[in-house]
Every structure is written in C-alpha cells, then in structure tokens.
C-alpha cells in the first residue's frame, strides 16, 4: 500500500507514548491526562435534555442536517459570541465543527501550501503542530513570557519570513503552559499582525475555564481586517465526546470552512448538536461553568502550594489563572523524559514537554494536568515527584 507523502509526515504523539509507558500499572497517580474531569459532565441534565429532545424531535434528531450546523445552536452561539465573548458577529461568521481539532485540520487544508511557514508559540499544542505538518508546513516558534507571546520576537520572525502564512496561538490558558496573554499583548499582537498578509488561528478551548482574574478580549474581537479564525469548543465545558465546536471568522473564511466541511464529513452530528442546544435552552450553562471553575481552581491552587513546598526551588512553574495545565521548567541539562522512568517507578506520570515544540532538543520541561486528579492524589503525587526531582537536583 502506498500512502501519500502527507502520511509520512504524521508524527507519533508524545502523549500516547506516555500512556503506553503507564498502561496496566496499578495505582499510578497521573498528571499526564489532557481531559476535563468526567465527574463534572452534567450527566443528569444531559439525560433530561436528551429525553425532551427525543420526545419533541423524534426522527429529526437522527437525520442529516445542514453542513453549516444546527440552526438553533448557531443562533445561540451567535448571541453568546456577541453578548458574552465580546465578538461582533452574525451567523454568516460561524460554522459548526466536529471538535475544534477539525478546525485545525481545516485551517491547514485551507491555508497551507508546501513550504509555507506556520508561526506558533514556543511551546504549543502538539495536536495543532501535527495537524499542520502533513501539508508541508515549516515551523517557526516565538517565545512567550508571563504576559504572552513576545512581540519583539514575533516582529523579527515576521519581518524575516516572507513565506509566513499562518500564526497559530492559544491566548487563554495555553496547552501546555497554562499561560494567558495580557490585554496589552493581545492589542500589540493584533497591531503587528495586521501589517502582514497572514491568517491568525485563535484556538480557545480553555477560555471559559478562567478561575481567576478578569476575562480579556479575544483576538477576534480586536481584529479589524478579518484575519482571525477563532475556534471555540464545548469539549472542556460540557463534554469532549459530543464533538461540538465552532469557528467564528470572516464571512469569506466561514464560507470556505462550510465548503470544505462538505467534502470532509458533510456535517457535524445532528444528534449531539441538537442535544447541546436542548441542554443550553433547558439549563444554565454559565452556572455549570462556574461549578467547574471552583473545582479546577482548588486543584490548581493545591498543586501550586504543594510544588512550593516539595519541589527543589530551581524548578520553575507557571501559576495559571485557568485551564487544565501547568508547566514545569527543570534546570538546563536535565532530561524530563529520562526522569519519567524514575517517576513511573515511583507511581507518578507526567508528559515530558519536548513534543510540544515544533523542533527537537528542549528536554527539560514538563506538562502537568490538574483537572483529573483528586486533592489526595495531588498532595501525595507532588510530594513523591519532589523526591524524584531531588535525586537529580
Ligand atoms: C489547544 C487545544 N486545541 C484544540 C483541542 C481539541 O479540542 P476539541 O475537543 O474541541 O477538538 C485541544 C484538546 O485538548 C486543545 O488542547
């Protein structure tokens, strides 16, 4: 069987490699997850919504629907984007997606030709890097500091990269670092990119999981030229398995997504879009989000507190205001992938950070998840991990 060149460019996921390393091991405390806590899915409410939906809609819930998406859900999202997310838009701007991951694959198909350059934050979401890679993208990374992407570096990269085609960023509680950009950084970023003919993909699956500080404008809200393709998702606030997400972009891009989607999967499942809509019309999403925020805030704060107490002071860590992850930086020269062997032997798992970079060689970083661990596991797990690190530092 001869596969396309694109298939040869797909890279094995570093996350799956860790999952294999811990498979079958009893009693592990895993900080390696990348999932929202299933105990926080609003199961009972979803059941009631499903019952009402089936009663009212019958066979319609199982039929084909429009490629662009289920009408009432599009209306709900248009309203929420305008009134809660501060993004002026109409239905013309929106197209439903089967997960925001589909939006990343579509951005790759729509915008990337062989040899085009994709600019990402350093590090970035490996699922995005892997979505862009098969289309022949080359990558340039721009560092981030505590306030977000470093503007001077971005300006330099843009000025010296005529083939820069797409900039992929996660301004809210980034996967993997948990960092969020400041208002000033968002404004400066838009000022700089507006001088170039580049598409900005603003990936925002974690924005609603802000448990500290104030909500800041999306890049799409600051976009005067229509160059931002915003991706939103219900995966982290409702259910990841329903695969309900959306793009909000210029009418031209939203139309292109719809056309491409028709060739890709015809439509996102009518059943889960409709169920999402029934849930949203019967229950208070914002109240549900607040419940999630309270739990994640406690877990994140406990993790930071334990890190302060048990990790050698040479280890740097982020202190996120939302999202699902925090990021560790061990002293230069240490190899978090090698240390993982010792950690796993001691019953702890994490994700070595190297696979979140579009290039090889950054071996001293770690992604830690705080949404899938209970308080006791955080206390115990961080203490044990601290002992493992102390052997190296
Ligand atoms: C930054 C980022 N973008 C996109 C996704 C994919 O999310 P979805 O479930 O909406 O496809 C994830 C999932 O973890 C993510 O972390």
138-172: pLDDT as tens digits:
999 999 999 999 999 999 999 999 999 999 999 99
Instruction: Give domain 5-41+287-390's CATH number out of 3.40.640.10, 3.50.50.60, 2.60.120.1570, 3.90.1150.10.
Output: 3.90.1150.10
pTM beyond cutoff 0.95: yes
Q: Give 240 Cα–ligand 1 centroid separation in angstroms.
A: 9
The per-residue pLDDT for range 90-147, each reduced to its tens digit, is 999 999 999 999 999 999 999 999 999 999 999 999 999 999 999 999 999 999 999 9
User: Residues with beta carbon inside 6 Å of ligand 1?
Assistant: 34, 99-101, 125, 127, 170, 175, 203, 205, 233, 235, 240, 245
Per CATH, the architecture of 59-282 is what?
A: 3-Layer(aba) Sandwich (3.40)
Q: How far apart are CA 384 and CA 350, in angstroms?
A: 13
pLDDT at 16: 83
Spans of the chain, pLDDT less than 50: none
Residue 102 alpha carbon, nearest atom of ligand 1: 11
β-sheet with 365-369: strand ranges across: 316-317, 325-329, 365-369, 351-352
pLDDT recorded at residue 19: 85
Domain ranges of the chain: 5-41+287-390, 59-282
pLDDT attached to residue 14: 80
Residues 6+ apart with CB under 8 A from 79: none
Indicate which residue's Cα is closest to atom 14 of ligand 1: 34
- Residue 383 and residue 348: Cα distance in Å, rounded? 10
């Amino acid at each position: 069987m001869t596969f396309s060149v694109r298939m040869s460019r797909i890279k094995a996921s570093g996350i799956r490699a860790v999952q294999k390393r811990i498979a079958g091991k009893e009693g592990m405390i895993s900080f390696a997850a990348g999932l929202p806590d299933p105990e926080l899915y609003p199961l009972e409410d979803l059941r009631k919504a499903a019952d009402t939906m089936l009663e009212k809609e019958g066979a319609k819930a199982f039929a084909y629907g429009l490629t662009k998406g289920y009408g009432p859900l599009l209306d709900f999202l248009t309203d929420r984007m305008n009134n809660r997310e501060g993004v002026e838009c109409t239905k013309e701007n929106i197209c439903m997606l089967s997960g925001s991951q589909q939006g990343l694959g579509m951005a790759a198909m729509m915008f990337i030709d062989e040899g085009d350059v994709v600019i990402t934050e350093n590090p970035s979401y490996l699922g995005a890097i892997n979505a862009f890679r098969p289309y022949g993208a080359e990558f340039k990374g721009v560092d981030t500091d505590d306030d977000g992407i470093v503007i001077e570096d971005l300006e330099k990269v843009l000025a010296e990269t005529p083939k820069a085609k797409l900039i992929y960023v996660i301004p809210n509680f980034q996967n993997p670092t948990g960092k969020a950009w400041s208002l000033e950084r968002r404004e400066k970023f838009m000022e700089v990119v507006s001088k170039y003919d580049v598409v900005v993909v603003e990936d925002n699956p974690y924005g609603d999981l802000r448990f500290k500080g104030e909500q800041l404008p999306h890049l799409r809200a600051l976009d005067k030229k229509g160059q931002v393709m915003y991706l939103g998702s219900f995966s982290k606030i409702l259910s990841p398995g329903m695969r309900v997400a959306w793009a909000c972009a210029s009418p031209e891009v939203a139309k292109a997504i719809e056309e491409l989607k028709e060739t890709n999967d015809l439509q996102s499942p009518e059943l889960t879009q409709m169920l999402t809509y029934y849930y949203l019309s019967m229950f208070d999403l914002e109240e549900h989000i607040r419940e999630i925020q309270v739990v994640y805030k406690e877990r994140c704060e406990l993790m930071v507190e334990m890190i302060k107490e048990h990790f050698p002071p040479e280890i740097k860590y982020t202190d996120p205001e939302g999202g699902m992850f925090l990021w560790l930086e061990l002293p230069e020269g240490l190899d978090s992938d090698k240390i993982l062997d010792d950690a796993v032997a001691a019953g702890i798992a994490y994700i070595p950070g190297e696979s979140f970079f579009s290039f090889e060689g950054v071996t001293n970083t770690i992604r830690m998840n705080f949404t899938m661990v209970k308080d006791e596991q955080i206390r115990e797990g961080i203490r044990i991990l601290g002992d493992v690190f102390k052997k190296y530092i």
